Each structure stands twice: as structure tokens, then as C-alpha cells.
Amino acid sequence: MPRMLMATRNQMKYLLFQPLFEEAGFETLTLAAAGLNHIGGLETGATTLENALIKARYFHSPDYPWVFGDDAGLAIDALDGEPGVETRRWGGQFNEEVDDQTWLDYLMKRMQGVPLERRTANIFAAWALLAPDGAAHYREVRFPFTIASEPFRPILPGSPLTAVRIGNAETLQERRAEIRAEWYRWGVLSELVKRFG
């Protein structure tokens, strides 16, 4: 069974994407399990696509011929597109290790007084898949939603937005379904499996 190295330390992303790779016949491997947890400082790109490609290329090697990198940003309409690509760090407001609750508290503070009809936002994500031949395959997607005026569900670790996200994909299962639909529209993984096995 081929192994897919997932170039992320975010447990939420692992939970979201692991089933997709398993359905395609891959064993998924985390950076921690591979002893490759040194990902800090890699996200130097100006866009989520650049960051996804940087991470995937960094870990691609003969030992790990299949690598998946992704990056996601957040654009809040009422905040003129903040926080943008550096979502977790919020443009330098925090460091990479900021905890979920602190990040969520800051979001709620920034959105204080904004009426529900103006609390619209988009998650914009990029996925980069490196195959054994080193070729990079990528896709960019957007997921619109509304930010609730206060948290109404527990935070899922690594994704503080889950506490306030109103939209078509509010739970982990719904987000998996949302990503799965986009994944199959992309269709690249099944083609690569046929080529490389």
C-alpha cells in the first residue's frame, strides 16, 4: 500500500483529509509519525497556493514519493479581507503557537458590533499533491460561510472557526463531505494512482 505523507501539523486537517486518501488506497502518514515535525517557518509564500507547494516540495523525497501539502486562509468581508493568508498568525498579531481560544477571542473582539448580515467570510484553500515523478498537481477552492455573533459549539482542536461557523458545512462530517465533493471534482488523485500505483 502506498503511503501519503501529509505535510501538516494541524490535527484537524489530518482528520479532514485522511479518509480521502484511505478511500484511494493510501496509508496516511503524519509528519510526527515520520519524525519530520520541523515545519515551522516554511509558510513564506504570498498565497495559500505558494505555501501548499512549498510544504509539499520540502518533504518530497525518494523515501516519501507521495506528499500532500495544503494551506488555507480566511477573508472576512467586514474586516476588508483580514486576516488573509496568515490566518493563524493574523498578519503578525500572534505567533504560530497561538491557542485556539485566544485566536477565537480575538476574532470575536474584532467582529464586535458587526450585524449578522455583514458577518460573511470565505475560507480560501490550496491543495498541492506531489507524485513520485515530482510533478506538482494543485487546486484552489473557496468555502463561503457566516460568522456567528457568539460561539455556539465546542472548538474542534486546530480549527477555532468551528465554534462560530454558520454555513453548509458546520460539523466535522459536513466539512469532510464538502471537501470530498471538491476533491472528486478535481479528480487528479485517481488518475495518478492509475499511473503510479
SS3 166: strand
CA atoms 2, 181, 127, 174: torsion sign: negative
> 72-94: b or e for each residue (b if 16 or more CB lie within 10 Å)?
bbbbbbbeeebbbbbbbbbeeeb
Q: Quick check: helix, strand or coil at residue 102?
A: helix
Residues 147 and 133: beta-carbon distance below 8 Å: no
Give the list of residues 6+ apart from residue 64 with CB closer than 8 angstroms, or none: 3, 5, 29, 34
Instruction: Pull the grid cell for residue 6.
Output: 501529509
The active-site residue out of 70, 71, 99, 100 is 71
99 is catalytic: no
Measure CA of the first residue to CA of the last residue in the chain; give whole Å: 9
Point out the residues that are catalytic. Answer: 71
